[in-house]
Amino acid sequence: MQYTFPENFWWGTAASGPQTEGVFEGDNKGDSIWDYWYKESPELFFNQVGPEKTSVFYEKFQEDIQLMKETGHTTFRTSIQWSRLIPNGTGEVNQTAVNFYNEVIDELIANDIEPFINLYHFDMPMKMQEKGGWESRETVEAYVAFAKVCFELFGDRVKKWFTHNEPIVPVEGGYLYQFHYPAIVDMKKAVQVAFHEILASAKAINVYHEMNLGGEIGIILNLTPSYPRDENNPEDVKAAKAADAFFNRSFLDTAVKGEFPSDLVEILSEIDVLPIIEEGDLETIKENTVDLLGVNYYQPRRIKAKESTTKLAEGPMPDDFFDNYEMPGRKMNPYRGWEIYEKGVYDILKNLRENYGNIKCYISENGMGVEGEERYVNDQGIIEDDYRIEFVQDHLKYVHQAIQEGSNVRGYHMWTCMDNWSWTNAYKNRYGLIAVDLDNNHKRTIKKSGRWFNELAKNNGFEA
């Protein structure tokens, strides 16, 4: 069967500044929380590989953009590192960084690849973290000032902006489950952090729209559908709804509808962890919704009614309201420990069509991390990653079905272009269309999936 996508569908990949750029002598970059955490606790990072040793995009971006062209990119998303552009989080702008980002943007455009630029990808400047990070109102204002600088510097050429990538992750990682710095467990702080991210996003959207730069601004959310163990069991359904409120609708409803889900407010009020809200905040959120939504999808969330009595923390946690459920016979990516459930992407798009005004959106991340890909190298030195091609095809079939039914989805970005550094996992799992050899001057080699992706983009679809 032939799967053909709409004209001008966006084909490309997503990456981020902190995961690709690296740190170099004379780049004048300030420390982010990742630079700091690695210096403090290198043992937490797989093979002790830190953010200064990422894929060196800072040096190789011209070569990399040629490889993007060779792999069919018409669009590419990355992020501007706040700690690179404004090393202290506020104040002086780093001209070396301005030159770098200008060159990257110009090089992409010269090669007919539209830049999609995100402003925050988990990389709080350490100077701001010392003042409380997202717990602090001061950070909200500093972030908005950073966003404005970006719009002023690059908004003449960049027409697709995003305020945050996966804003739920700093909440979960930093303040609930301890996989991002500051790695504490405090539900009240977690809620305040989420509120400040939501407010910062709305304020940045307001600034962008006031500047009349002729582009669009949105947010990128990792939407993880919450499926109840048993659709006919009211307790399972209620538990799935609670999980959905915490992890999806918290940011989705505020970004698209400008309001907080009432069931979430009720839960937070019940456990006495509502955030501090200042006068005018709710109006700001209400009046500054997104033009465009990026959807990251990797896995579903399977939920059942609360059965376990184990408490994850002394204080309240989202997990007090549901248990995770391992569905028998599920298909797994064994390396990442994630379920592969392709229909999830269709269910997300259907939900956006039916309940969120069919907002203009695109799949902004979807990908498969595999450990030990060198096992699949052929005689020509190419990684034959047929499993990745199959993964993408199987998800695109569902995206195609959603389009047939009227979904306003405009593109597909894979995570990621070239193997990149992935937080504490470093280079454990590889996701790229292009391999990066860390031991051989970061040599790039296009994988089989990269050649396939080029055909996909060229033909604006595939046959399967």
Q: Return the bridge partners of 434, or none.
A: 418, 446
Task: Select which of 114, 197, 365, 373 is catalytic.
Answer: 365
Residue where the block lists tokens 């190419």: 382
Cα distances (Å, whole numbers) of residue 2 to 185, 414, 462: 49, 21, 6
How far is 448 from 453, CA to CA, in rounded Å? Answer: 9
Helix (H, G, I), strand (E, B) or coil at 236: helix
| Element holding 303 (H helix, E strand) | strand 301-304
Residue where the block lists tokens 């969330």: 301
- The token duo for 262 is 């009432």
- The token duo for 459 is 């033909």
- The token duo for 99 is 């030159």
CB proximity list for 384: less than 8 A, separation 6 or greater: 376, 377, 378, 447, 448
How far is 412 from 409, CA to CA, in rounded Å? Answer: 9
How far is 341 from 133, CA to CA, in rounded Å? Answer: 35
Beta strand extents in 94-250 (DSSP E only): 114-118, 160-165, 216-222, 226-228
How far is 222 from 224, CA to CA, in rounded Å? Answer: 6
Q: Return the bridge partners of 173, or none.
A: none
For residue 85, the number of C-alpha atoms closer than 13 Å in the C-beta half-sphere is 26
Whether 141 is catalytic is no
First to last CA, the chain: 5
| Element holding 308 (H helix, E strand) | none
Active-site residue list: 365
